Each structure stands twice: as structure tokens, then as C-alpha cells.
Copies of this chain bind each other. A is one copy, B any other.
Amino acid sequence: MNENRKSYSTRQKDLILNCLRENRQRHLTAEMIVDDLKDRGEPVGQTTVYRNLEKMVKDGMLLKFAAPGGMHACYQYLESPEDHLNHHHLVCVGCGQLIHLSCGHIDELTAHIQEEHGFHLDSFKTIFYGCCESCAAKGEARCT
């Protein structure tokens, strides 16, 4: 709420961010982060994890979206806050992998939809769901 709030650097904040950065190619749930940190012997309370994730989302450091199957939140690290302006996000429903795609075709589509259909696409909120090549080859159940 208060934009002028000071922000302290803490062990927990760094641990959470590290975990997200090391898994930047996948999306993580809050539970996965809690478990991962516990396994490393650096446990962080789940309340703290949730609070930090929410703050990072607000700061544009993370992408937050709903899991393809269930309804809980997934989080993923973004290289830079402006990241989402330059590319789009594909999520494989088979393996959970997140693919960053900078593709002129998508940008053209965004422009087309805005001009011809009067709809302003939000590339930050829009997630493209589908199936990556290897999951398709494996015939992943969730990909059918």
C-alpha cells in the first residue's frame, strides 16, 4: 500500500529469490518453494514465502498464474521487470516448463487484435497453454 516503505534485505528473501532463479525455466508453487528450502536445511515459513511472492509479483519480478490442472498459483522468475513487454509465455501442460517466446508473429497478432477487433491484449496476463515438442512426442496424457 505505502509506496515509500523501506525494504530490508533478509536471509529468507534471498533464499526464496534464489530458488526461483535456479528454476527460472519452470514454474513453482508456494509449496514447492517451502519444501525445496526445507530440504536444503534452510527452512522458511510458508507465511513468509507467500508474503514475499506476493510482493515480488507486485514489483513485476515474478509472473503469477493459475496451474493448468488444479487451481493453485504458480510463480516464475522474470529476468527483468520489463521482460514481459518483449515476449510472451508458453506453458507446457505436460511438464510445466515455461517457454519465453519473442516472436514477431505474436506481436503482429496483438496489433491486429487491437486494430481490427478493438481488444487490448495484455501479454503479461495472457499465458499460452499447450504442449511442448518432447511431451507431444511422449504422448503425455495431459497433452491430449
Chain A residues within CB distance 8 Å of chain B: 65-66, 68, 71-73, 90, 92-93, 99, 101, 103, 105-106, 108-109, 112-113, 116-122, 125-133, 136, 143
Contacts and interface: CB of A to CB of B under 8 A. Distances in A.
Number of identical monomers bound together in the oligomeric complex? 2
Contacts of A116: 103
Nearest to A94: B120
Contact of A71 (B71, B103, B109, B113): B71
B132 A118 contact: yes
B130 A126 contact: yes
A129 B126 contact: yes
A93 B118 CA distance: 14
A130 B122 contact: yes
A66 B65 CA distance: 8
A90 B114 CA distance: 12
A129 B122 contact: yes
Q: Which 10 A-B pairs have the closest CB atoms?
A: A66-B66, A118-B133, A125-B129, A121-B130, A120-B131, A122-B130, A126-B129, A120-B130, A105-B112, A109-B109
B119 A99 contact: yes
A65 B67 CA distance: 10
Contacts of A113: 90, 101, 103, 105, 128, 130
